[in-house]
Structure 1
């Protein structure tokens, strides 16, 4: 965890300047997510990075708690939020386990482009299920490292060795879906914009 925080703190300024690689796919994910939102909803986003997605979603819900392991990411996110005039996002540094979050207190939880960066994916999914209200939704978008091009699977360890890439968890689509089902979720929407990624909306049983 300490190494991951150091990596993302160092990466934050460059990450903030990077452009979205596939704008069309990103916009579709935003639209699909907002179809589930309600104006009175409380939302949690973990691994929020520099807050770009939380800022876009904020007008559609009552409140968003956005968390990240990196202080530097959150500093940038806070500045962007103030500049946008958004007042219903609160940022907290930490993980789902380290933060004092009450069980069954969120209508929706977002884990976007973060699950494949975690060592304890099963524990995280179980915690998400615990934090959601009955009937709440978990929106996730993640890379499927074991299904990306073989070239990248070979290159990632090299990049990690020279500290140019973070830890990545290698799971397949079926492996990820099984984790969600085993945790007690029902899948409502599943979309693969490419072989190496997946977008899922899963609902906690009411």
Structure 2
């Protein structure tokens, strides 16, 4: 299994993913509003793991430049179709990962990673790459499932699901471990919040500043 196989998985499920609904709409709106409040009108923003562009299309109008990326060409194709129907001049979609972006892509005032960090194969390496893409005092804003805090049955089922192509790679870590990784990559954590309105979904919303 590799990042290429992850990309193929997301390409394959992208049409079904695009038709899905948000399970906790109120929690999602809370995340959007909190993020908007952290972004400035003159900011250059990078979103990693943008999927089919739902969040990018909500946030791009509030900043100067917004680059939304995903490992899956299928996801990006759907996002670009949505963008064509609802143009946002500041927004660009691109198939890419944090590691694939060259230095001329930044620096960014903010990097967003929603439902992203648990899907990367080298969490410390990805966090250090995000640090390098940020401007001085830039913000990294994350909200990702901490599988290590979830029902143990999920952790048991994931390898079997991956083996039959029903799931992509997913890292297993607890919220406390994630915070430690973010700090070790050169960030000061400014806030850790729960935006769930339907119980605890174990996806902490973390705001961190590049040292």
TM-score (norm 1): 0.95
Deviation at 1:41, TM superposition (A): 0.4
The equivalences for 1:57-72 within 5 A come to: 57-72=59-74
Match of 1:39 in 2: 41
Deviation at 1:103, TM superposition (A): 7.6
Give deviations 1:161-193, integer Å, cap 9, x for gaps: 221111100111111000111111111110133
The equivalences for 1:1-206 within 5 A come to: 1-102=3-104, 105-192=107-194, 193=196, 194=200, 196-205=202-211
Aligned residues: 205
Q: Per the alignment, in what secondary structure is the counterpart of residue 108 of structure 1?
A: strand
Unpaired stretches in structure 1, ≥5 consecutive residues: none
Q: Cα–Cα, structure 1 residues 85 and 195, in superposed 2: closer, same or farther, change >3 Å?
A: closer
Contact 2:187 / 2:209 at 8 angstroms: preserved in 1?
A: yes
Contact 2:67 / 2:94 at 8 angstroms: preserved in 1?
A: yes
In structure 2, distance between residues paired with 1:145 and 1:102: 34
Q: Give the aligned CA root-mean-square deviation in angstroms.
A: 1.3
Give deviations 1:16-49, integer Å, cap 9, x for gaps: 0000011111111111111111111000001111
TM-score (norm 2): 0.93
Deviation at 1:195, TM superposition (A): 5.4
Q: Per the alignment, in what secondary structure is the counterpart of residue 204 of structure 2?
A: strand
Unpaired stretches in structure 2, ≥5 consecutive residues: none
Contact 1:156 / 1:165 at 8 angstroms: preserved in 2?
A: yes
Deviates more, 1:68-77 or 1:100-109: 100-109
